[in-house]
Structure 1
């Protein structure tokens, strides 16, 4: 499901549009969105990786320049939104392991 990230203050995009929210689209669920990127770097919110990834998965679509000029709290909110897509949707199964005595 897409995730809407709301900002405390509007940001102005390169297109001139001012926005108070950005949607991380379901495109983020597709492995193709990660092409050319290392999953570890995305999972650890590597700035360069997110500058490349966010334009692929946001609506309205951010440019790399837009992402590079975001205030840090706004960038952090988007990075958290990306991380939420990478969290497993269900907890790992618990297995009973017999004690060896």
Structure 2
């Protein structure tokens, strides 16, 4: 077991974001949302859902998780009204965040 001690207070880990451009923008009052930033979730944002459901892009699981990790924060109503292609893009982004680095290295 390897334990690293990174006690420098100046170097805090930065959140990982990915921007998803929507095919069908979301209209929210006078505002039109054309892109969503998705933040790599911490374990707490995944509470109440099975990781396998997220990896399989289960709509119910995504409906629970996406409001916790998107900017602007999507509502459940926003997610239910998404174009299916946009939901697939967002779900694929979230699923990609859950893959170990070793698995991603082979695809680059």
Please classify the TM superposition score into its range, dividing by the shorter chain length.
Answer: 0.7 to 0.9
Consecutive unaligned residues of structure 2, counting only runs of 5 or more, are 1-15
What does 1:5-44 align with in structure 2 at a 5 Å threshold?
5-13=20-28, 16-26=30-40, 28=41, 30-44=42-56
Name the structure 2 match of 1:2.
17
Summarize the Cα distance change of 1:89–1:68 in structure 2 as closer, same or farther, 3 Å threshold.
same
SS of residue in 1 equivalent to 2:97:
helix
Segments of 4+ in structure 1 off by > 2 A? none
RMSD value, Cα: 1.7
How far residue 8 of structure 1 moved from its aligned partner, in angstroms, is 2.9
Q: Say whether 1:82 aligns with 2:105.
A: no
Summarize the Cα distance change of 1:23–1:36 in structure 2 as closer, same or farther, 3 Å threshold.
same
Summarize the Cα distance change of 1:89–1:16 in structure 2 as closer, same or farther, 3 Å threshold.
farther
Measure, in 1, the Cα distance between the counterparts of 2:78 and 2:20: 15
Deviations 1:20-70 (A, max 9, x none): 1000014x1x10011111111111111101011100000000001110110
Measure, in 2, the Cα distance between the counterparts of 1:22 and 1:44: 21
Taking structure 1 as the reference length, the TM-score comes to 0.79
Taking structure 2 as the reference length, the TM-score comes to 0.74
Aligned residues: 89
